[in-house]
């Protein structure tokens, strides 16, 4: 890797940034030359933000798994590619070298092929954090199938919605998954999802927990049996499918301001280049380092910084099956010491939850292998930043605060560890190639420093989403129509006197609960499914650990028994329709909701009440019936 690839000083960053703005195509062509392409591109970039279309590295041919695995075999076949720490610390951990990973990926790629999976087919993966999850993802990429990983906490209904939207005929899952002291019956959830999905042809089931499962003849197959079949076939190879740079690599569903999650589509070439470049630069990765990203592969953070970024850089990536607080709140620190972790990348919500246990769980932990700390997913508060810095980093590890989104594929704003300055609660400066701006309500650019506004981007970067699966119009309206000619992030931000960005949070109807994105409309739809519910309105409110909590105002007309039982019923409904992550923290029963004369719910007012505001609710003169506001305030939880 050349010096220019990894920026080693503020001056180098500044020069790279300047070059990336003045000559984006030249800049990214030089970066992209560090990868293995079967054929290089005819054109670096074609783009249009008005009638949205973006193409990076047109005409180039590659397979991302050759970059993540094969190309490392010559120099580091026996180096650990993936370390797996099981949920139960008593269970044996696993290490897969690059050679092992190659073997397993090729083997499972052949299993997929044997079962009829072809290039372009969508494969839904619903598993816990086991090595086979990463193997399944890479096996799809190997044969050009499009993976759609669904986080193991989503309900049967959510899976069915995603299967239908992607028209996915293949599923990879496991009997169950372990998470802390819980056992999640994944296969049984899949069975419920499949009641309404007759188009699903094959379900491959890995054995993990040995919870009893029902296997449907002709449709359901054991992972282990399928592996045996390809073993007896003899030839253990599976040549990588030649992909166009712009062929889809994966779909990942994420919430927006409407009730229906969108399938964000990323493509092979640009995504590979950008996740690798940001992995190497943001964390200042050094050969030999162990990288521990605590996210789940079911989210974009896991895709980009557990699987593709680290492996394409030839790093050792650590996959942890469990949760930070089980068997006790020292688990992360134990894992760090056990594997001599160099980079720890986690979420503010995890830090805040661990802070709550005090310093006890840190006693006896060395943490002296740590070089770089990172956070992602939500704004980090000052207190959590300092706790992380002092107790975990012992004041000697730079903290990178990385701002990005499912749609951006990789980090867009972040300091680079030890290279560019950091400032608590600030994501700081954009990556090379990323042209941020702040705009006002009317889309007019707000120039200068010490200003705040809505965060937009005016030029494409290689891993920008290409479309929302099956509905390109939706992609255009969602991201490119609020401010014509600009990509709108949905976030508000301020820019300080140094030009550093601080993200203040979503300005749309999207919540960020424990770093998970949840649309208020989605939660409302789920609550409204409950037989006794007439109407509901959901807003976020500040929550000490989760960042944002979910506050639901509900008009209920069922047989009113015990209010607390009704609340439990509603929570049960939300769990069924979406999953436990979307359960409201507070449910207030109300007689009416504040509406304008045209019938629009005034969420601004509900948000203020949920935040605890008692006097300044802003303009309420357009309300149809101002008396409901007082009633809601009186009943506040
Ligand atoms: C939203 C994207 C990026 C992977 C995890 C979340 C918020 C993300 C930060 C940060 C402040 C952040 C934004 C963004 N967010 N990182 N460092 N500081 N806010 O991905 O589910 O697509 O959510 O998370 O609000 O829009 P996601």
**Above 90 in pLDDT, residue 637?**
no
**CA of 404 relative to ligand 1 center, distance in Å:** 5
Q: Which pLDDT does position 2 carry in this prediction?
A: 42
Say which CATH number the domain at 184 has. 3.40.50.980
**Inter-residue contact 272 to 279 (CB < 8 Å):** no
Q: Is residue 147 part of a domain?
A: yes
- pLDDT average, residue stretch 187-207: 97
Q: Is residue 173 part of a domain?
A: yes
Q: Over the stretch 540-593, which tens digit does the pLDDT of each residue have?
A: 999 999 999 999 999 998 776 788 899 999 999 999 999 999 999 999 999 999
Q: Please give the residue that has the higher pLDDT: either 622 or 500.
A: 500
In a domain, 467, yes or no: no
Is residue 48 in some structural domain? no
What is the CA(625)–ligand 1 centre distance, in A? 37
Look at phi and psi of residue 274 and say left if phi exceeds 0, alpha if psi is from -120 to 50, else beta.
alpha
Please give the DSSP secondary-structure letter assigned to residue 423: B
Chain mean pLDDT for the chain: 96
| Residues contacting ligand 1 via CB (< 6 Å) | 254, 300-301, 376-379, 401-406, 427, 489-491, 503, 505-506, 512, 517
Is 590 inside a domain boundary?
yes
d(CA 443, CA 214): 55
Sequence-ordered alpha helix ranges (H) in 331-460: 331-339, 348-355, 382-387
Question: Which residues touch 439 (CB under 8 Å, ≥6 apart)?
Answer: 445, 446, 453, 454, 456, 483, 486
**In the predicted model, is pLDDT for residue 598 greater than 90?**
no
In a domain, 319, yes or no: no
Token pair listed for 32: 């992209």
At 627 the pLDDT is 86
Q: Which segments of 434-519 does DSSP mark as H helices, in order?
A: 472-480
pLDDT (tens digit per residue) in 337-376: 999 999 999 999 999 999 999 999 999 999 999 999 999 9
Structural domain count, the chain: 2
The domain boundary, picked from 219, 241, 263, lies at 241
Q: Say what percent of the chain tops pLDDT 90.
A: 92
Query: pLDDT tens digits for 157-177?
Result: 999 999 999 999 999 999 999
Residue nearest to atom 2 of ligand 1 (CA): 405
pLDDT tens, 121-133?
Answer: 999 999 999 999 9
Q: How far apart are CA 62 and CA 67, in angstroms?
A: 8
Q: Is the pLDDT of residue 425 over 60?
A: yes
Nearest protein Cα to ligand 1, atom 21: 517
If you take atom 20 of ligand 1, which residue's CA is the nearest one? Answer: 405
* The pairing of beta strand 467-468 with beta strand 262-267: antiparallel
Question: Which of the listed residues 221, 241, 261 is the one where a domain comes to its end?
Answer: 241
Tell me: cis bond preceding 145? Omega within 30 of 0 counts: no
Cα separation of 490 and 505, whole Å?
Answer: 8
pLDDT band at 1 (very low <50, low <70, confident <90, very high): very low
Establish if 232 belongs to a structural domain.
yes
**DSSP H helices in 44-97:** 64-65, 71-76
Ligand 1 atom nearest the C-alpha of 301 is 4
Report pLDDT digits (tens) over 429-470: 999 999 999 999 999 999 999 999 999 999 999 999 999 999
Pocket test for ligand 1, best of 149, 377, 384, 425 (most atoms within 8 A of CB): 377
pLDDT at residue 227 is higher than 80: yes
Extract the tokens encoding 448.
């200068």
Backbone dihedral region for residue 229 (phi beyond 0: left; psi -120 to 50: alpha; all else: beta): alpha
Going by CA atoms, what residue is nearest to atom 17 of ligand 1? 403
Place 17 in a pLDDT band, splitting at 50, 70 and 90: very high
For ligand 1, atom 12, which residue shows the shortest CA distance?
378
Residue 168's domain comprises 66-241
Confidence of residue 3 (pLDDT cuts 50, 70, 90): very low
pLDDT value at residue 608? 93
> Which pLDDT tens digit goes with each residue over 247-276?
999 999 999 888 889 999 999 999 999 999
Q: How many CB atoms lie within 10 A of CB 458?
A: 15
Q: Which of 488, 509, 492 is nearest to 52 (CA)?
A: 488
* 333 close to 391: Cβ distance less than 8 angstroms: no
Looking at 432-490, list the stretches that DSSP marks H as alpha helix, in order from N- to C-terminal side.
472-480
The answer to whether residue 322 is domain-embedded is no
Boundary of a domain, candidates 241, 271, 300: 241
Q: How far apart are CA 586 and CA 353, in angstroms?
A: 19
Question: Ligand 1 mean position to 405 CA, how many Å?
Answer: 5
Q: Please, are residues 127 and 172 in contact by the beta-carbon 8 Å criterion?
A: yes
Q: At 568, which CATH number?
A: 3.30.300.30
pLDDT digits (tens, 9 = 90+) for 63-80: 999 999 999 999 999 999
What residues pair up with 250 in beta bridges, in sequence order? 147, 266
């Amino acid at each position: 890797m050349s010096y220019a690839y990894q920026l080693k000083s503020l001056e180098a960053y500044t020069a790279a940034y300047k070059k990336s703005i003045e000559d984006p195509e030249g800049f990214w062509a030089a970066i992209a030359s560090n990868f293995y392409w079967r054929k290089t591109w005819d054109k670096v970039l074609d783009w249009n933000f008005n009638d949205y279309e973006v193409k990076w590295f047109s005409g180039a041919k590659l397979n991302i798994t050759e970059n993540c695995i094969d190309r490392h075999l010559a120099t580091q076949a026996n180096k650990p590619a993936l370390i797996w720490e099981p949920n139960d610390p008593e269970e044996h951990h696993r290490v897969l070298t690059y050679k092992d990973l190659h073997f397993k990926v090729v083997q499972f790629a052949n299993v997929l092929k044997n079962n009829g999976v072809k290039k372009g087919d969508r494969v839904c993966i619903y598993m816990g954090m086991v090595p086979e999850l990463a193997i399944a993802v890479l096996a799809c990429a190997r044969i050009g199938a499009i993976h759609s990983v669904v986080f193991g906490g989503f309900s049967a209904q959510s899976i069915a919605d995603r299967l239908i939207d992607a028209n996915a005929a293949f599923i990879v899952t496991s009997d169950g998954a372990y998470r802390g002291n819980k056992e999640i019956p994944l296969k049984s959830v899949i069975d419920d999802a499949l009641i309404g999905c007759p188009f699903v042809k094959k379900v491959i089931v890995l054995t993990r927990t040995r919870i009893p499962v029902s296997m449907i003849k002709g449709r359901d197959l054991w992972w282990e049996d399928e592996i045996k079949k390809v073993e007896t076939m003899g030839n253990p190879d599976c040549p990588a499918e030649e992909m166009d740079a712009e062929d889809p690599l994966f779909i990942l569903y994420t919430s927006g301001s409407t009730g229906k999650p969108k399938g964000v589509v990323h493509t092979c070439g640009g995504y590979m280049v950008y996740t690798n470049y940001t992995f190497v630069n943001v964390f200042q990765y050094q050969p030999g380092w162990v990288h521990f990203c605590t996210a789940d592969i079911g989210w974009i953070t896991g895709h980009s910084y557990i699987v593709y970024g680290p492996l394409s850089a030839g790093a050792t990536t650590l996959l942890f099956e469990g949760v930070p607080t089980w068997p006790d709140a020292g688990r992360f620190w134990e894992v760090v010491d056990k594997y001599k972790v160099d980079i720890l990348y986690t979420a503010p919500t995890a830090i805040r939850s661990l802070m709550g246990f005090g310093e006890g769980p840190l006693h006896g932990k060395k943490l002296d292998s740590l070089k770089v700390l990172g956070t992602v997913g939500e704004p980090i508060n000052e207190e959590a930043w300092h706790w992380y810095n002092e107790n975990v980093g012992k004041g000697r590890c730079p903290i990178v605060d990385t701002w990005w989104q499912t749609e951006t594929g990789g980090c867009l704003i972040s300091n680079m560890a030890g290279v560019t300055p950091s400032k608590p609660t600030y994501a700081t400066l954009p990556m090379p190639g990323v042209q941020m701006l702040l705009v006002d309500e009317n889309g007019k650019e707000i120039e200068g420093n010490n200003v705040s506004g809505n965060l937009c981007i005016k030029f494409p970067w290689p891993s920008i989403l290409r479309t929302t699966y099956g509905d390109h119009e939706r992609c255009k309206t969602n991201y490119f129509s609020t401010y014509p000619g600009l990509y709108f992030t949905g976030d508000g931000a301020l820019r300080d006197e140094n030009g550093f960005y601080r993200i203040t949070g979503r300005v749309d109807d999207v919540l960020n609960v424990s770093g998970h994105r949840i649309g208020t409309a989605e939660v409302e739809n789920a609550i409204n499914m409950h037989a006794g519910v007439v109407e509901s309105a959901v807003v976020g409110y500040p929550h000490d650990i989760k960042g944002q909590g979910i506050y639901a105002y509900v008009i209920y007309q069922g047989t009113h028994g015990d209010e607390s039982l009704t609340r439990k019923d509603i929570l049960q409904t939300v769990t069924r329709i979406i999953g436990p992550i979307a359960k409201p923290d507070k449910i207030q029963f109300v007689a009416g909701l504040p509406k304008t004369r045209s019938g629009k719910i005034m969420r601004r007012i509900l948000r203020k009440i949920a935040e605890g505001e008692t006097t300044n609710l802003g303009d309420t003169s357009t309300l149809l019936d101002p008396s409901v506001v007082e009633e809601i305030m009186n009943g506040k939880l």
